[in-house]
Chains A and B, each alone.
Chain A
């Protein structure tokens, strides 16, 4: 079965602090992509960061970085120097190719950044 598990339904962090959102996944595929998407309140979902499964180096995008552990099938997101605008639902997802690209999402983690 292809699944994504986000074990933290809700989290909060103080502004300027660092927070880590966890994600584990299950797939029998060897080639896939991993993503973190952000869905701010009442706004569109946007891509935060992405990782190719065959790359060992962890992806980084400004204040956002991932800790990708392929053997453990773990893909956590670290947000440094948290800002109020980071308040959102965060979805972990991966995509595989089976005829077309198929995306599997987790249930999301609601992050609240506190002033």
Chain B
């Protein structure tokens, strides 16, 4: 595996379900990110982890719970979601601090549908 991988690629869940999204980066980076991508809206930064420590929580509802056990893995635990949470969830990683170009590398995303 190379780059940033995400599983599952597609997920359909009911509002009472509990599920988790997984992200893994094989780039040796130390920062990982969760974004929400909805149609006609800017990418919304949800969480940032730097060296496994959460450094940003962008006022995300508590029904989204991130976990970063190490610098290579990032999870997003989901419970009691709402239909408006349906979106593409993107994971990204970068090398911080780089001092130069802090390019983010993105995974393919998980397409989440909440019924």
List chain A positions with a Cβ less than 8 A from chain B: 4, 9, 33, 35, 37, 43-47, 50, 52, 91, 93, 95, 97, 99-108
**Within the complex, what minimum Cβ distance (angstroms) separates A109 from chain B?**
11
In the complex, are the beta carbons of A99 and B42 less than 8 A apart?
A: no
Question: What DSSP secondary structure best describes chain A's contact surface?
Answer: strand
Complex interface bits, B79-101 against A, C-beta within 8 A gives 1, otherwise 0:
00000000000100010110001
**B45 (CB) vs chain A CBs: closest residue:** A103
Q: Which residues of the partner chain B approach A104 to less than 8 Å between Cβ atoms?
A: 42, 45
Query: Would you call B65 an interface residue if the criterion is a C-beta within 8 Å of the partner chain's C-beta atoms?
Result: no
Binds A, one of B11-19, B20-28, B66-74, B104-112: B104-112
In the complex, are the beta carbons of B90 and A95 less than 8 A apart?
A: no
In the complex, are the beta carbons of A100 and B56 less than 8 A apart?
A: yes
Q: For B45, give its contact among A47, A52, A102 (CB under 8 Å).
A: A102
**Count, chain B residues at interface, CB 8 A:** 25
Q: For A44, give its contact among B42, B102, B106 (CB under 8 Å).
A: B106
Q: Which residues of the partner chain A approach B96 to less than 8 Å between Cβ atoms?
A: 100-101
In the complex, are the beta carbons of B42 and A50 less than 8 A apart?
A: no
CA–CA, A44 and B103, complex, Å: 14
Complex interface bits, B37-81 against A, C-beta within 8 A gives 1, otherwise 0:
000111101001010000110000000000000000000000000
Q: Which residues of the partner chain B approach A99 to less than 8 Å between Cβ atoms?
A: 55-56
CA–CA, A58 and B90, complex, Å: 29
In the complex, are the beta carbons of B106 and A101 less than 8 A apart?
A: no
4 more contacts with CB within 8 A, not counting A44-B106, A101-B31, A106-B42, are A33-B101, A47-B103, A101-B96, A107-B41
**A107 (CB) vs chain B CBs: closest residue:** B42
In the complex, are the beta carbons of A103 and B104 less than 8 A apart?
A: yes
Q: Which residues of the partner chain B approach A44 to less than 8 Å between Cβ atoms?
A: 3-4, 106-109
CA–CA, A105 and B40, complex, Å: 12
